Amino acid sequence: MKILNVISSTNPANGGPIEAILQIAPLLIEAGHTSEIISFDLPDDAWLANYPLKVHGIGPSQTSYAYCPRFLPWLRQNAKNYDRIIVHGLWQYCGFGTWLALRDRKSNPELPPYYVYPHGMLDPWFKKTYPLKHLKKLLYWLPIEYWVLKDAAATFFTCEAEKELARQSFAIYKCNEVVVNLGTAKPPVDRHQQQQAFFDQFPHLKETRILLFLGRIHVKKGCDLLIEAFAQIANQDPNLQLVFAGPDQTNWQATLEDRAQDLGISSRITWTGMLLGDSKWGALHAAEALVLPSHQENFGFVVAEALACGTPVLISNKVNIWQEIESDRAGIVANDDLAGTVSLLQQWLALSPEQREEMGQRAGSCFLDRFEAHQAAANLIQALNKN
């Protein structure tokens, strides 16, 4: 099959949808398929240099809706060159433009089917947390997004929890629901080299006990809860260090740093910015545990990456794969509030070194059994062939 992925931006700092493409596409290619991307990036955007996939950058886009005037003519001209087209995400023009170009497939069989990954964007958390934005989405829903999903050959959900939650956001809702698990690749094999790359950048962390947050510094990730919770347990071991590794896309970090200062724990927190390559894998290997107290997390690639490193995960029950983690005893799960986040850290500290090591072993097994990328790629190919 020749597959075209449609996404508004390929910038890896955005995480989520683009990470899903980058993890699975190489395995599709390995299996004999072709996987390309069309995005609304500019062809000379810095992150496109040496990009691992062929990208048709036809930007720029305009407005927060990411309207790209070149997209619809391009897709109408080129759609017949592909066997399957996959839209990643909702609430932007990439989905609506795809629907406009391909909605007449029944009368024009040369057009390929299209599929939609919502990537958690139908989660009712957004409805509850941003009610004014939800009112705006209501204006888009019936005229646009409802039809984008209804006319798709299938809507792909990354786990059962996402599928169930998606049904709760809008009263009028219809689509062909298919669960296609996501996954991530095994980390590079040289664990020592990766740890050394991380410690070369942050040598003061080498002899400490690291609790790692890895991801965007964003309100939905519960970063504020983690700081408050860490302040309550930090005195249990002066060797504990909290590491925040990720881009600050909403300019929230300064506020969080001020709060850490007020709580007297600023010297116990390291802010690394976004980590890539060996430094990222090194952080995951160096950490005792990954901590992610998110209020909403559709899949959580970083959770799967931590498991791949044999690093236990301390997560909220709003990370949609929490049931799998809990079932395999590959981490600890609690509510996405302060009491829950404190409980995550206290339960971890109460474990013996032997118990922590056993949980790490179960984390590695959980990854291989559920979240290894080859399985995810096989699931996707099967779904594309059946729907």
Of all residues in the chain, what percent carry a pLDDT higher than 90? 87
Q: What pLDDT does residue 107 have?
A: 83
Helix residue ranges per DSSP H, the chain: 17-30, 71-78, 93-102, 124-129, 131-140, 146-150, 160-166, 191-201, 223-233, 253-263, 277-286, 301-308, 322-328, 338-350, 353-366, 373-386
- Name the CATH superfamily housing domain 191-371: Glycogen Phosphorylase B; (3.40.50.2000)
- What lies within 8 Å, CB to CB, of 345 at 6+ separation is 211, 229, 230, 232, 233, 291, 314
| Tens-digit pLDDT profile for residues 273-300 | 999 999 999 999 999 999 999 999 988 8
pLDDT digits (tens, 9 = 90+) for 136-159: 999 999 999 999 999 999 999 998
High-pLDDT (> 70) share of the chain, %: 100
Give backbone dihedrals phi and psi of 211, rounded to 5 degrees, phi first: -105, 120
Quick one: pLDDT at residue 148? 98
Q: Does position 387 have pLDDT exceeding 90, yes or no?
A: no
Question: Please, what is the end-to-end C-alpha distance for the chain in angstroms?
Answer: 14
Per-residue pLDDT of 154-190, as tens digits, reads 999 998 999 999 999 999 999 999 999 888 888 888 8
Structure tokens at 276: 């890539």
Given this model, what pLDDT does residue 260 score?
Answer: 98
Return the axis-axis angle of helices 93-102 and 71-78, rounded to nearest 10°. 40
Q: Which residues are paired to 57 by β-bridges?
A: 39
Q: Count CB-CB contacts under 10 A for residue 49.
A: 7
Q: Mean pLDDT throughout 25-35?
A: 94
**Mean per-residue pLDDT, 58-87:** 96
- Which residues lie below 8 Å from residue 81, measured CB to CB, with a gap of 6+? 2
Architecture in CATH for domain 2-183+373-386: 3-Layer(aba) Sandwich (3.40)
What CA–CA distance (Å, rounded) separates 30 from 359?
33
Let me know: does 21 contact 7? Beta carbons within 8 Å: yes
pTM for this structure?
Answer: 0.84
- The pLDDT tens digits for 220-273 are 999 999 999 999 999 999 999 999 999 998 999 999 999 999 999 999 999 999
Cα–Cα distance, 302 to 331 (Å, whole number): 13
Task: For CATH 3.40.50.2000, list the domain ranges present in the chain.
Answer: 2-183+373-386, 191-371
What radius of gyration do the chain's Cα atoms show? Answer: 21
Taking all residues of the chain, what is their mean pLDDT, rounded to a whole number?
95
Instruction: Say what the pLDDT of residue 15 is.
Output: 76
Q: How confident is the model at residue 218, as a pLDDT?
A: 94
Q: Say which residues have a Cβ less than 8 Å from residue 341's Cβ, sequence separation at least 6.
A: 222, 225, 226, 228, 229, 293, 316, 334
Note the pLDDT tens digit of each residue in 293-339: 999 998 889 999 999 999 999 999 999 999 999 999 999 999 999 99
